[in-house]
Amino acid sequence: MAIVGRPNVGKSTLLNRMVGQKLSIVSRKPQTTRHPIIGVVTRPDFQLVFVDTPGFQTRHGGLLNRSLNRAVTDSLAGVDAVLLVIEALRYGEADAELVRRLTPDVPVILAINKIDRLTDKSLLLPFLERLRHEYPFAEIVPVSGAAGTQCEALIEALRQHLPEGTAMYDADALTDRSERFLATELVREKVFRCTGEELPHQCHVTVERFETEGELRRIACTIVVARTSQKGMVIGAGGERLKQIGTTARQDMERLFGGRVWLDLHVRVEKDWMTDPGALRRHGYL
């Protein structure tokens, strides 16, 4: 099942809530999610397999954004159902453009997210009525991924529209992604959070070393930025910001991996990596 929606509607937060573990990174910056990531929800009598996708972007047409949009449309092929996420009381052209790309023969469940932010809940009913005329959604479920409101109802609604079959993953599996991949994502999330609005989403993280010694993981990552000025933003005065990024990322890794983590971070400038096809291919975007 593909989870799709425009940037910043809360797809990753909703996935993490339903899975019960932080798998997909979150931030207020657009295009935080860059690679589809699978999240698995297993109950005694059913299993849901979600594919969290990048936010569908209509305002920017760069090579990276085109690659991310292609990942979204590709994820719609071959799925049994689609979970479309929008923000409460917000349905604009970017949402409508994505709706136009949906496949009519695949059930689409609409999740109206962030209802916890509504000060006047009475506005939700006419909004739902409007959306029923936009597309023949199989279900419409108001939710809050951040607060957990109605998430179980959403899971039950999704279950009703999936075919019967054998489980694809073991009962204790949460994702198909490796710890190596999850480590890079957690570092990238902390870069976004610790730099605030100073650094655009022009950074990438690569793993240079990932070694396991019992329950200890030794991880070395490089944070790739596009300009020298951005390198200074990430490092900060006296290296304090890079230290903060490393500390918070390590703490999340230890919670996720269930063991101690030794984390070493470095920053490297790769000019115009977001527009260079060779660099994008090397970093796994093409």
Instruction: Return the pLDDT at 273.
Output: 84
Instruction: Return the pLDDT at 136.
Output: 95
Of 78, 18, 63, the residue nearest 273 (C-alpha): 63
209-252 per-position pLDDT tens digit: 999 999 999 999 999 998 899 999 999 999 999 999 999 999 99
Instruction: Return the pLDDT at 151.
Output: 96
Instruction: Return the pLDDT at 59.
Output: 56
Rg (C-alpha) for the chain, rounded Å, is 19
Of 169, 179, 110, the residue nearest 138 (C-alpha): 110
| DSSP letters spanning 107-144 | -EEEEEE-GGG-S-GGGHHHHHHHHHTTS--SEEEE-B
One-letter amino acid at 196 equals: G
Helix (H, G, I), strand (E, B) or coil at 280: helix
Instruction: Kindly list the averaged pLDDT for each block of 10 residues, start to end, along the chain of length 286.
Output: 88 92 71 74 93 65 64 72 95 90 90 96 95 95 96 95 88 90 93 79 89 95 93 94 97 94 96 83 76
Q: What is the DSSP letter of 34?
A: -
Instruction: Return the pLDDT at 42.
Output: 94
Helices 11-19 and 151-159 cross at an angle (nearest 10°) of 80
| DSSP letters spanning 59-82 | S---HHHHHHHHHHHHHTTT-S-E
Helix (H, G, I), strand (E, B) or coil at 222: strand
> Can you tell me the distance from the alpha carbon of 189 to that of 251, in angstroms, rounded to the nearest whole number?
13
Instruction: Return the pLDDT at 92.
Output: 92
For residues 154 and 141, the answer to whether their CB atoms sit within 8 Å is yes
Q: Which residues contact 95 (CB under 8 A, 6 or more apart)?
A: 5, 6, 86
Q: pTM for this structure?
A: 0.80
139-151 per-position pLDDT tens digit: 999 999 999 999 9
For residues 10 and 85, the answer to whether their CB atoms sit within 8 Å is yes
